[in-house]
Structure 1
Amino acid sequence: MAGRWPAVLVANLLLGIPAVVPFWLLWFLAASWVSGPPAEENDGMALWLVIVVPVVGLYALLWSAVNRSLARRSSLMPRTYWLLGVLGTLLPTTALIIIYP
């Protein structure tokens, strides 16, 4: 079953649901650095890095472990597999952006 593209898509869609949190944290961190922190917030950005780095790091480890395991058993071409994996992971976040702009 892991050799077919639906298994890859479903696995990455399921991984994409908790990925909303790390993607949001990265977006918020990038937006805060570009626009600067609000005037009433004088704690700096170091606290955000303490929160963002472990959350994004743990999710990246989970995502890469699952996808490396599936990629070894998949009969898809590597480029097709990783493209499908990334798009499947981004789909829940994209749907939330479209539904709740």
Structure 2
Amino acid sequence: MIQILEHVKNGNTVSTRWLARQIAAIENGIAVEHASGEPYKNVYNALSQSHLPTLTNAEVIVYDPQRQTVEKGSFFDLAALLLNLSKPAIEAFYRK
């Protein structure tokens, strides 16, 4: 999920294919140009069938399955903030 947020944080609309290629490259430690075949297909399928619809339901992103695009949703900034909280900050909330 963090990788999805990282790629749309600037407010740009990105294609699902582009996003899958970026994530496949990171996960496999390869150049984006080489992110193809099975690794790319696995990431693309996971994104389009699970991760993107889930994040859309939570209004973190807006995923358009017809146009195959992803952009920031209304709760994007809150989700990004929560993901960036450090463990000590999170524990401080529960000390009360």
Q: For this structure pair, what is the TM-score category when the shorter chain's length is used for normalisation? A: 0.3 to 0.5
Of structures 1 and 2, the larger Rg is shown by 1
Question: Larger relative contact order (C-alpha < 8 A, sep ≥ 6)?
Answer: 1
Relative to its length, the structure with more helix (as a share) is 1
Bigger strand fraction: 2
